[in-house]
Amino acid sequence: MKELELLRKIKSVTFSTSWKNEPYSRIIDVMLVEGEKLFFVTGRGKDFYKQLRKNPVVAITGMDENYNMIRLKGEAKLLPLDQMDEYREKIFLANPALGGIYNQEQRDILDVFYIDSGHGDIFELSSHPPRRSQFSFGLGLPVPWGYQIGEECIECGQCVPLCCTGAISEGTPYRIEPSLCLECGKCSEICPVDAIIHAKML
């Protein structure tokens, strides 16, 4: 899957978790991608490990050298015990630098986690205007994003010049192109009839 391969290419990305209603972030290497599965490891003694076991939902963010930013939210699952040694070996073979930290006798402290379903998006920040596309795997359709204009629209046009990416076009009602919407909310604030609502609120 090209989106997961992009995360693997970036390799060192930010993994965010939640613990007792507080956010935690750290840089973790994407160690392996197979089809629609992403694999990473962490030591059983780490806070990260405990957070994953208590609340497995993670948010991952990375950016490549071309300013393509990728975000992914999914559930991190502990690999079954009968597959653990096989995937540890695969991961050490695919990531030789890891062997410089953990020798053969130390490797079993690292457990393998995988993500096989999630939603995400990619921002092409180097394009003008920036564009965003969504992806999902192992799930249904991606969650909606951006602002949408409802039937209450009176076609006054006040929102059009205020959109920094030119995402709003005329029509009945007016329309916002999702791939260009930066979710700044300016159009929603200015709408005199409250016809512009974030898609997640619909």
The pLDDT confidence band at residue 7, using thresholds 50, 70 and 90, is very high
Confidence (pTM): 0.89
Q: What per-residue confidence (pLDDT) applies to 202? A: 64
The pLDDT confidence band at residue 139, using thresholds 50, 70 and 90, is confident
Instruction: Locate CATH 3.30.70.20 in the chain.
Output: 147-201
Instruction: Locate CATH 2.30.110.10 in the chain.
Output: 2-137
113 neighbors 52 (Cβ within 8 angstroms): yes
Q: What per-residue confidence (pLDDT) applies to 114? A: 98
- What does the block give as tokens for 34? 């197979």
The pLDDT confidence band at residue 120, using thresholds 50, 70 and 90, is very high
The pLDDT confidence band at residue 129, using thresholds 50, 70 and 90, is very high
- Give per-residue pLDDT as tens, 22-77: 999 999 999 999 999 999 999 999 999 999 999 999 999 999 999 999 999 999 99
Considering the domain 2-137 in this protein, what is its CATH number? 2.30.110.10
Q: What are phi and psi of 87, to 5 degrees?
A: -80, -30
- What does the block give as tokens for 129? 């205007």
- Give per-residue pLDDT as tens, 154-165: 999 999 999 999
> Could you tell me the CA-to-CA distances from 114 to 17, 31, 84, 126, 134 in Å, in that order?
15, 10, 11, 30, 21
Correct CATH for 147-201 of 3.40.225.10, 3.30.70.20, 3.90.1260.10, 1.10.8.80: 3.30.70.20
Q: What per-residue confidence (pLDDT) applies to 200? A: 80
CA dihedral 96, 39, 113, 68 (to 10 degrees): 110
